[in-house]
Amino acid sequence: MDFKKGDKIIYPFYGVSIIKKIVSEEINGEQVKYFELSFVDSQLTVLVPVLLAGKLGLRYPLAKKELAKTLKFLGKATAVSEEELLDLEDYSNNKLRTGITKDTIEVINVIRKIVKEKSLIAKKISIMEAENLKRAQTFLQSEVAYVMGKNSLEKYKLGVPAS
């Protein structure tokens, strides 16, 4: 994708960011171009090599209609293998690393199901499960708030992101 200065893009794990500028640095005698990204919901700024942007999962936010269609999967049963459940951290990280909204929703659905099942036997989810759920929800909140407005967060039971 040909991103340019000023574009708002989605960065896996973190959500909506703005390309503040494109910088060039010399590394081992070669000029390497980077996107300087500033995240909308935090003070975090990162440099991402232009040539790795696609591989890292950077993308434009979904269109409003496409996002609304994708959000219909929230709360739906998600098929996860026994092996994936045994290594839920890897499963969650691999899904979140794609930056794909539907993958993020799958993580939310799976962990919410685990929360529900554990609550029936008066158990709490692990710290890792809680962190992955929070990361997934924060990422999804970022895109939903940007594309559809913050008022849409309650409609999809995503809460309001921490500022």
Q: Containing domain of residue 36, as a range?
A: 8-52
Note whether residue 162 is domain-resident: no
Give the CA count within 13 Å in the CB-facing half-sphere of 12: 19
Rounded Cα distance between 99 and 114, Å, is 22
**Domain containing 37 — which CATH number?**
2.40.10.170
Let me know: does 141 contact 158? Beta carbons within 8 Å. Answer: yes
Pair (112, 147) in one structural domain: yes
**Co-location of 68 and 48 in the same domain:** no
pLDDT per position as a tens digit, 109-146: 998 888 888 777 888 878 888 899 999 999 999 999 99
SS3 for 7? coil
Number of domains within the chain: 2
pTM for the whole thing?
Answer: 0.85
pLDDT digits (tens, 9 = 90+) for 20-71: 999 999 989 999 999 999 998 788 899 999 999 989 999 999 999 999 999 9
